[in-house]
A and B are shown apart, each in its own frame.
Chain A
């Protein structure tokens, strides 16, 4: 029961996010509104960590499986992909690595700079 109430609170924030998404004409998805609202509520103490923690970690632990149905959905767009799929796949794979490389090293470089300034 406790789990269900916690899930209810999280779902409520998601629902609020969906409403904001339809009211505000910005390309911001409902999940981001919901995430921001829950984060602010936790910071201000409106929602206590213990009120959502268990359900949140349960949801987060099963997050990978939630992507499976949309992956299977690729089956339905095979005709659209025709001859462009090779380019799309190679582009997606290569840029995943370049993005990883640049983000990670920018972060580590900045940390190094910060440290050397402090010394």
Chain B
């Protein structure tokens, strides 16, 4: 039995198919229940973890295949240039507005993490690690490294943020009275990086473009303010 199982898990297609399969189940649940909050990504992660634990499969075995799926994230992020280009006129017309809104959001994200860390009396090391949690992973890890934080904690905070953003952000926009399409897009990208952007894209191309622009601007703003926070 174990020998048979190791044959199954040793193929790179094991990880790929497990990821696609659990994601498909997640999409099916959303379709059946009509509840958008059952995020397919979250379902996929939970089911995959359950599967790995239940059948005692090593994460490395799973990731052998699954890493091919995550590798596409690079080209996909580059592809964000396309919706951005399609909205280039709107972008030029509102450049100042976009820069100010996203800067305000990015500064508030870092300030918010600072205040909450004080509230929970988290170690400075942990604060440095989760400070860039609203920023896209590649930039955030660079910031953490510079500040002397722990990379895996950054990834953890980024994932929790992304999950919160993708499950609740659109609902929260409604609740907070954020209706304007540009405002929705900018907020999604600033608060929940690329995961927020993937949700914004589903809502519309304009939202997606604004959200991808927000990722870039928020990333740069956070890179710039992080050193000041660390030395204060």
Residue B152 interfacial (CB < 8 Å): yes
The answer to the question of B28 belonging to the interface, with a C-beta cut-off of 8 Å to chain A, is no
**Are A66 and B76 in touch, CB under 8 angstroms?**
yes
Contact of B112 among A36, A53, A99, A107 (CB under 8 A): A99
User: Which of A38, A55, A74, A95 has the largest number of chain B CB atoms within 10 A?
Assistant: A95
Pair B19/A65 contact, Cβ less than 8 Å: yes
From 87 to 118 in chain B, residues with beta carbon under 8 angstroms from any chain A beta carbon are 88, 97-98, 100-102, 104-106, 108-109, 112-113, 116-117
Q: CB-CB < 8 A to A84: which residues of B?
A: 122-123, 126, 153
Q: Which residues of A contact B85 (CB under 8 A)?
A: 39, 42-43, 49
Chosen A-B contacts, 24 in total, with CB atoms closer than 8 Å, are: A10-B79, A14-B74, A27-B145, A28-B139, A31-B78, A32-B138, A39-B81, A59-B79, A60-B80, A66-B69, A66-B70, A75-B52, A77-B153, A81-B153, A87-B126, A91-B120, A92-B130, A99-B190, A100-B173, A101-B172, A103-B105, A103-B108, A105-B178, A110-B101
A contacts with B, residue count (CB < 8 A):
75
Partner pick for A27 among B72, B160, B223, CB 8 A cutoff: B223
| Additional A-B contacts beyond A49-B82, A84-B123 (18; CB < 8 A) | A27-B139, A29-B139, A31-B138, A55-B79, A65-B20, A67-B162, A68-B44, A71-B42, A73-B63, A74-B45, A77-B155, A88-B157, A90-B116, A94-B112, A103-B104, A108-B179, A111-B180, A114-B97
Most buried by B among A27, A97, A103: A103
Complex Cα gap A57–B143 (Å): 30
B29 within 8 A of A: no
Complex Cα distance, B211 from A60, in Å, reads 13
Instruction: Indicate whether A62 sits within 8 Å of B178 (C-beta atoms), given known contacts A39-B84, A95-B113.
Output: no
Instruction: Report Cα–Cα, A92/B167, bound state, in Å.
Output: 14
Chain B residues near A71 (CB-CB < 8 A): 41-42, 44-45, 159, 163
A80 at interface by CB-CB < 8 Å: yes
Given A28-B139, A88-B157, A108-B183, are A102 and B117 also a contact pair (CB < 8 Å)? no
Which listed residue, B116, B153, B177, B214, touches A103 by the CB 8 Å rule? Answer: B214
Range for the number of chain B residues in contact with chain A: 35 or more
CA distance A13 to B85 in the complex (A): 15
Residue of B nearest to A86 (CB): B120
Quick check: B164 and A92 within 8 Å, CB to CB?
yes
Shortest beta-carbon distance, B191 to chain A, in Å? 4
Could you say which of A64, A89, A90, A96 contacts B134, with CB atoms under 8 Å apart? A96
Establish whether residues B150 and A87, one from each chain, have CB atoms under 8 Å apart when the complex forms.
no
